[in-house]
Structure 1
Amino acid sequence: MQNTPATTATKFPDKPITVIVPFSVGSGVDLTARSLEKMVPKYLGQPLVVINKSGGAGAIGWNELAGANPDGYTIGIAGIEALLLPFYGSTKYDYPTALEPLAQVAAVPSVLAVQAGQPWQTLDALIEHAKKHPGQLKFAHGGVGSFPHVLGEMFAQATGITLEQVPFSGGGETVAALLGGHVQLVFVNPTLVKEHVKNGTIRILAVTGKQRLTDPVLAEVLTFQEQGLDITLTNWHGVAVPKEMPVEVKNKLAEGFKAIITDPEFIKNMNNAGLQVEYLDPKESQAKWLADSQKLAKTLQATGVLERIKAQKK
Structure 2
Amino acid sequence: MQRRHLLQSAAALAAPALASFGVAQAQSFPSRPIKLLVAFPAGGPTDITMRSLADNASKILGQPVIVENKPGAGGTLPAQQLQSAQADGYTVAQIPLGVFRLGYTTKINWNPVKDISYIINVTGYAFGIVVPAESPFKTWADFVAYAKANPGKLTYGSTGTLTSPHLTTELIAQKAGIELQHVPYKGSADLMLALVSGQLMAGADSTGFAPQVEAGKLRVLNTWGEKRLDKFPNAPTLKELGYDIVQNSPFGIGAPKGTPPDVVKRLHDAFKKAMEEPSYVAVLARYDMLPNYMGSADYTKFAQDTVGREKVLIDKLGLNK
Measured in 1, the distance between the counterparts of 2:87 and 2:299 equals 19
User: For the structure 1 residues 194 and 91, does the alpha-carbon distance in structure 2 shift closer, same or farther, using more than 3 Å as the test?
Assistant: same
Select the residue among 224, 234, 238 that pairs with 1:208: 224
Measured in 2, the distance between the counterparts of 1:119 and 1:89 equals 38
Shift of 1:156: 0.8
Structure 2 residue aligned with 1:130: 147
Map residues 8-157 of structure 1 onto 2, 5 A cutoff.
Answer: 8-91=25-108, 93-157=110-174
Query: Do 2:125 and 2:250's aligned partners in 1 also have CA atoms closer than 8 Å?
Result: yes
1:62 is paired with a residue of what secondary structure?
A: helix
Measured in 2, the distance between the counterparts of 1:115 and 1:273 equals 18
More off after superposition, 77-86 vs 134-143: 134-143
Measured in 2, the distance between the counterparts of 1:12 and 1:270 equals 28
Measured in 2, the distance between the counterparts of 1:93 and 1:19 equals 21
Structure 2 residue aligned with 1:285: 299
Query: Do 1:23 and 1:55's aligned partners in 2 also have CA atoms closer than 8 Å?
Result: yes
2:285 is paired with a residue of what secondary structure?
A: helix
2:113 is paired with a residue of what secondary structure?
A: helix
Structure 1 residue aligned with 2:6: none
User: For the structure 1 residues 31 and 167, does the alpha-carbon distance in structure 2 shift closer, same or farther, using more than 3 Å as the test?
Assistant: closer
User: For the structure 1 residues 116 and 295, does the alpha-carbon distance in structure 2 shift closer, same or farther, using more than 3 Å as the test?
Assistant: farther
Q: Which residue identity is paired with 1:198? A: E
Measured in 2, the distance between the counterparts of 1:219 and 1:164 equals 28
2:35 is paired with a residue of what secondary structure?
A: strand
Shift of 1:266: 2.5
1:226 is paired with a residue of what secondary structure?
A: coil
Query: Do 2:238 and 2:246's aligned partners in 1 also have CA atoms closer than 8 Å?
Result: yes
Measured in 1, the distance between the counterparts of 2:268 and 2:186 equals 34
Shift of 1:187: 0.4
User: For the structure 1 residues 283 and 208, does the alpha-carbon distance in structure 2 shift closer, same or farther, using more than 3 Å as the test?
Assistant: farther
User: For the structure 1 residues 271 and 302, does the alpha-carbon distance in structure 2 shift closer, same or farther, using more than 3 Å as the test?
Assistant: same
Measured in 1, the distance between the counterparts of 2:248 and 2:128 equals 10
Shift of 1:69: 1.7
Measured in 2, the distance between the counterparts of 1:89 and 1:80 equals 15
Measured in 1, the distance between the counterparts of 2:95 and 2:261 equals 20
Alignment length, in residue pairs?
Answer: 300
Query: Do 2:76 and 2:95's aligned partners in 1 also have CA atoms closer than 8 Å?
Result: no
Select the residue among 212, 221, 229 that pairs with 1:196: 212
User: For the structure 1 residues 115 and 18, does the alpha-carbon distance in structure 2 shift closer, same or farther, using more than 3 Å as the test?
Assistant: closer
TM-score w.r.t. the length of structure 1 is 0.82
User: For the structure 1 residues 117 and 28, does the alpha-carbon distance in structure 2 shift closer, same or farther, using more than 3 Å as the test?
Assistant: closer
Q: Which residue identity is paired with 1:202? A: L
Query: Do 1:108 and 1:235's aligned partners in 2 also have CA atoms closer than 8 Å?
Result: yes
Measured in 2, the distance between the counterparts of 1:75 and 1:146 equals 21
Q: Which residue identity is paired with 2:238? A: F
Query: Do 2:157 and 2:184's aligned partners in 1 also have CA atoms closer than 8 Å?
Result: yes
Q: Do residues 303 (structure 1) and 312 (structure 2) align?
A: no
Measured in 2, the distance between the counterparts of 1:73 and 1:122 equals 48
2:293 is paired with a residue of what secondary structure?
A: strand
1:144 is paired with a residue of what secondary structure?
A: coil
Shift of 1:178: 3.6
Q: Greater CA radius of gyration, 1 or 2?
A: 2
Structure 2 residue aligned with 1:159: 176
Q: Deviations over 1:71-99 (max 9, x none)?
A: 22221111112223332224453333311
User: For the structure 1 residues 143 and 256, does the alpha-carbon distance in structure 2 shift closer, same or farther, using more than 3 Å as the test?
Assistant: closer
User: For the structure 1 residues 297 and 40, does the alpha-carbon distance in structure 2 shift closer, same or farther, using more than 3 Å as the test?
Assistant: same
Q: Do residues 234 (structure 1) and 248 (structure 2) align?
A: yes
